[in-house]
Amino acid sequence: MTGIGGDRRTALRVLTIATALAAAALAGCSTLGNPPAAENNDPAYATAQPNLTSLGEVIAKHPDDPQAYNMRGSVFGEAGRNDQALADFNKAISLDPNYAQAYANRGLIYRKTGKLDLAAADYDKALSIDPNYAAAYVGRGTVHSAQGHGAQALTDLNKAIALKPDNAEAYYSRGLLYQSQHQQQFAIDDFTTALGLASQKTDLFVARGLSYLAAGDNKSAADDLDQAVQADPTNAKAWASRGLAYERLGQKEKAAGSYAKALNINDKYQPAQAGFTRVGGRAGQTYQTF
């Protein structure tokens, strides 16, 4: 999430803030993956520290500037420090009640922490201020989907794509909606489009792989999940899903190895436990994974 400097700020102030926040703008909250589960064991936490120092200096000099609080809230959110992120977004909104992006950013934190009604209200507010704010349509559409309101979710996600056709997040979210509705070809098409637009591809390869599995195309699923585990070798879901693809292809060695990799990452991951048992996996045995 990046700031949206207001017209009433002077050019000098905007330049000062832009210089201090240039690195922070790269650490936005709106990504294909989930925010870090804990602030002290994720690379985002370490990356955030110099940005937070710069942002703290900016806020000390400009304590009444909502953009600075919005930007620092974004960095806190990326690092999984949700309470601090919310405090900064609240401050930004108190300083500028018409700051659409701060509402949408706060809505994202509410959504990621399961407070869907609060998230929906913030997205509604952001869109009442800026009816062409594509990211807010993506956020609200994702909330509608989580609440089981498929038609409303689809309307919002279609709107987001119409406004910003290069938004990978919108295609990914719409693909997940189609996937949940068992419309696998539509889901595959959206995941494919998102893959062409996104820089972070692991979640997309996993999602498309799962749709291929649901559609019975186990070879394409295996190809996608190969890509997923190579992009992120620490992703237990990717390894377990890959195990299922190779299990269905009858390649039990690769299946067992994939399930074992998932269990090494998370020994309580039930899909990996069940799959490892199904293919006759044995603890302590070495398996070929590629």
As a whole number, mean pLDDT of residues 42-52 equals 54
**How many residues would you count in the chain?**
290
**How far is it, in rounded angstroms, from Cα 220 to Cα 53?**
46
Confidence of residue 160 (pLDDT cuts 50, 70, 90): very high
Confidence of residue 230 (pLDDT cuts 50, 70, 90): very high
As a whole number, mean pLDDT of residues 72-86 equals 94
Q: What pLDDT is recorded for position 52?
A: 80
Q: What is the mean pLDDT of the chain?
A: 86
> 245-258 as b/e, with b when 16 or more CB fall inside 10 Å?
bbbeeebbebbbbb
Q: SS3 helix, strand, coil % of the chain, rounded to 5?
A: 70, 0, 30
Q: What pLDDT is recorded for position 58?
A: 86
Answer whether residue 35 shows pLDDT above 80: no
Answer whether residue 155 shows pLDDT above 50: yes
Confidence of residue 57 (pLDDT cuts 50, 70, 90): confident
As a whole number, mean pLDDT of residues 52-80 equals 90
- Token pair, residue 78, equals 């990326």
- Token pair, residue 152, equals 């409303």
CA dist list (Å): 133 to 103, 105, 126, 149, 211: 11, 12, 8, 21, 29
Q: Write down all domains in the chain, each with its CATH number in brackets.
A: 1-131 (1.25.40.10), 201-290 (1.25.40.10)
